[in-house]
Structure 1
Amino acid sequence: MKTVLLTGANGFLGGHLCRELLTRGYAVRAFVRPGSDLRALAGLPVDIWTGDIRDSASVRASVYGCDQIIHAGALAQVNPARSPMVVEVNVYGTAAVLAAAVQARVERLVFVGTANVFGFGSKKHPGDELFPYMGSRYGLDYMDSKRAATDLVLQAVRQDGLPAVLVHPTFMLGPLDYKITSNALLLALYNRQVAGIPMGGKNYVHVADVATATVNALTMGRIGHSYILGNENLSYREAFTLFAEWMQVQPPRLPVLPPMASAIGRLSDWKHRFTGQLARLNSAMTAVANDGHYFNVSKARNELNLPTTALRNAVEQALDWFRCQQLLD
């Protein structure tokens, strides 16, 4: 039985990765922060390792006895747009994991990034793994730090011979989102808290499909290659209309044109600057919403057997899970 060190094990994707690994017969060492919410791991036969991903000594110790690593630990914070902690966790934490992996000579490391480290395209010509990074225009430490972390992994492959494969999910939906991350969009639509529809769009994917392809990458995929893990490219109007229909609620109707979205973002920034209180949005978030973040995922389908579960299934399963958690009226 092979043992996999899984960082970020108690997160939205991490909980699904744990289950997928256990189903396939792997032993899992779950690396989590001290004081973390462990509900996503409740009842699972995993070895809990508590430590700080930025602490090189703790990371090196956690790798002992592990054959492979899935590095899914990250801080996916976009509000505020600039955060030293995001950089520390996503860049310095990744550096610590890479150093430990090289020293331990692990069989393979799978790095979980984000599709936003690549350039996006239109629906007709979506971005892929060869499109250069475009996210620096937004001023988001999350995107910039994940791009920097991706570069560190590629550097370790070239210079240290690290056998690493990189996977880059798009916007994930589905159950077991205990921290209410990306599924907050569904809750907001369900509770009629989305006032308007931005002009951009994005690629959506079932979180279980991402978990399947990520675990596949332990034995599949080419060393040093990146794979975008996604499914359906939808404008916000298309997505909000479909999600609302599937949830049997009224969708938002008002279009939010780019100048209006930008103005809302600037007002939110001013509120934060003068009051110290974070608004629900910031100018970086509204700039992202103005663009269409569409991606081609054929490489992952061909080389990692990325599944293509219908997005409706992800929405319905997320909704059922929210009901079980008594988060819906």
Structure 2
Amino acid sequence: MKSESLAGFELECMADFIGIRITRLLTERRRKVRVLLRKTSDQSALHGLPVEITYGDVLHPPSLSMAMQGCETVFYSVVDPRFWLTDQTPIFRNNVEGLVNAMDAALKAGVKRFIFTSTMGTLGLNPNGRVSEDIPFNWLDRAPPYIRARLEAETRLLSYCREKGLPGIALCVANTYGPQDYQPTPHNGGLWEVASGRTKVAIDVSQPTVDIRDVAMAALSAETQGRLGERYIIANEFVSNRTLFAMAAACGNQPPPKFIPYGVSYGIAWITERLMKLAGRKDFMISANAMFLSNVFREMDNTKARTELDWRPRPLAETVRDCIEWLADRERQGRAVHASGEKA
């Protein structure tokens, strides 16, 4: 019997949030699932799920070939998001070379669908309106290495579809929020810091958002309804931090934070980055590039996904509420376990 799908992701990476959600949805639909992990991965998020685990690495082609044996669909959610690395070599190797290895393995294994989790960062900018899949990438001169690597990865995927017959589809995913985030990721972590009253000051920027559960729904819809060689914008509401954090603060019965203008924040990041470099510091997260990426994206046109994938994302308010409730419950459970240990 064939293993219907391989959910490929690595739990050290931020993509585990998407990969785990896809895995959960597959198991809820009683699909047979194999998950590719590194041996060093934390598997707590997979606890209790009826999945087959295989170990490997996208930079180790034999392990990819083994993992894909008998699979009909590959959901590829591996990404190295460490934009803050001073040495950007791993960014290209993991995001581009790793994908190429996986696509080669998929072609050899004869998979019927290869669903690739890409990013809204591969889309062109439109200063006069909403961004669509048809706008070519037009900001290479401003794109940091992380974006360049993701763009190269998606370009390679679409090229494999055209020239080698890879049955691939790319999902250009916005900033993800929602429950069951075990890390949590920086986006959800930021919401929780606001909801718990720990964040007093925030940056006045805006962003396209999407519920993690709706990303998983889009991935499974793309498997059966998506057109091969196409990319789909998976983004829902475009929202300012003022509105987003007001939702989170209300969920936690906290006052919303004060806001610093984007221009001021960018200047602080620019100065801090240069001071770090003068001090010989490496791998710092505060940088002009990071600040630029926090505010470069605008409203996304998801008409193609709605029309072709029958995609219906939920309201952002529901996403924020469910996220805060889940994180609050997880913190309460952690406190209970800690208190129980102290009594013992």
Matched with 1:251 is 256
Asked if 1 retains the 8 angstrom alpha-carbon contact of 2:125 and 2:139, the reply is no
Matched with 2:273 is 269
User: Residue 224 of structure 2: SS of its match in structure 1?
Assistant: coil
Letter in 1 for 2:43: L
Matched with 2:340 is none
Matched with 2:33 is 28
Structure 1 residue 170 corresponds to structure 2 residue 170:
no
Asked if 1 retains the 8 angstrom alpha-carbon contact of 2:247 and 2:320, the reply is no
Asked if 1 retains the 8 angstrom alpha-carbon contact of 2:122 and 2:150, the reply is yes
2:303 to 298, 302, 322: 298
Structure 1 length-normalised TM: 0.92
Matched with 2:165 is 161
**CA–CA distance in structure 1, aligned partners of residues 38 and 22 of structure 2:** 17
Aligned-pair distance for 1:277? Answer: 5.6
Q: How do 1:30-45 residues align onto structure 2 when only pairs under 5 Å count?
A: 30-45=35-50
Matched with 2:94 is 89
Deviation track 1:190-231 (CA, whole Å, cap 9, x = no partner) reads 333252333x31111110001011011111111111001111
Aligned-pair distance for 1:171? Answer: 0.8
Q: 1:326 to 1:304 in 2, by over 3 A?
A: same
Asked if 1 retains the 8 angstrom alpha-carbon contact of 2:248 and 2:321, the reply is no
Asked if 1 retains the 8 angstrom alpha-carbon contact of 2:77 and 2:116, the reply is yes
Asked if 2 retains the 8 angstrom alpha-carbon contact of 1:201 and 1:294, the reply is no
Letter in 2 for 1:237: R
Q: 1:279 to 1:194 in 2, by over 3 A?
A: farther
Structure 1 residue 130 corresponds to structure 2 residue 131:
no
Q: 1:150 to 1:15 in 2, by over 3 A?
A: same
Structure 1 residue 196 corresponds to structure 2 residue 197:
no
1:76 to 52, 58, 81: 81
**CA–CA distance in structure 2, aligned partners of residues 218 and 16 of structure 1:** 15
User: Residue 193 of structure 2: SS of its match in structure 1?
Assistant: helix
Q: How do 1:106-255 residues align onto structure 2 when only pairs under 5 Å count?
A: 106-121=111-126, 125-134=129-138, 136-181=140-185, 182-190=187-195, 191-193=197-199, 195-198=201-204, 200-255=205-260
User: Residue 127 of structure 1: SS of its match in structure 2?
Assistant: coil
Asked if 2 retains the 8 angstrom alpha-carbon contact of 1:114 and 1:167, the reply is yes
**CA–CA distance in structure 2, aligned partners of residues 20 and 220 of structure 1:** 17
Structure 2 length-normalised TM: 0.88
RMSD between aligned alpha carbons? 2.2
Letter in 2 for 1:315: V
Letter in 2 for 1:159: E
Aligned-pair distance for 1:2? Answer: 5.0
Aligned-pair distance for 1:257? Answer: 3.6
Letter in 2 for 1:44: L
User: Residue 234 of structure 1: SS of its match in structure 2?
Assistant: strand
Matched with 2:20 is 15
Structure with max Cα Rg: 2
Deviation track 1:26-57 (CA, whole Å, cap 9, x = no partner) reads 21110112211111111101111111111111
**CA–CA distance in structure 2, aligned partners of residues 82 and 277 of structure 1:** 9
Aligned-pair distance for 1:283? Answer: 1.0
Asked if 1 retains the 8 angstrom alpha-carbon contact of 2:131 and 2:301, the reply is yes
User: Residue 183 of structure 1: SS of its match in structure 2?
Assistant: helix
Matched with 1:288 is 293
Show structure 1 runs of 5+ residues with no match: none
**CA–CA distance in structure 1, aligned partners of residues 88 and 182 of structure 2:** 23
Between 1:228-237 and 1:145-154, the stretch displaced more is 228-237
Structure 1 residue 98 corresponds to structure 2 residue 106:
no
Q: 1:279 to 1:149 in 2, by over 3 A?
A: closer
Aligned-pair distance for 1:318? Answer: 1.3
User: Residue 293 of structure 1: SS of its match in structure 2?
Assistant: coil
Between 1:58-67 and 1:79-88, the stretch displaced more is 79-88
User: Residue 241 of structure 1: SS of its match in structure 2?
Assistant: helix
Asked if 2 retains the 8 angstrom alpha-carbon contact of 1:53 and 1:89, the reply is yes
Show structure 2 runs of 5+ residues with no match: 336-344
Letter in 2 for 1:91: V
Letter in 2 for 1:29: R
**CA–CA distance in structure 2, aligned partners of residues 178 and 133 of structure 1:** 33
**CA–CA distance in structure 2, aligned partners of residues 171 and 116 of structure 1:** 10
User: Residue 179 of structure 2: SS of its match in structure 1?
Assistant: coil
User: Residue 312 of structure 1: SS of its match in structure 2?
Assistant: helix
**Quick one: percent identity of the two aligned structures?**
25
Aligned-pair distance for 1:279? Answer: 4.6
Deviation track 1:140-189 (CA, whole Å, cap 9, x = no partner) reads 33221111110111111111111111111101101121122121221232
Structure 1 residue 56 corresponds to structure 2 residue 57:
no
Aligned-pair distance for 1:290? Answer: 3.8
Query: How many pairs were matched up?
Result: 326
Q: 1:81 to 1:42 in 2, by over 3 A?
A: same
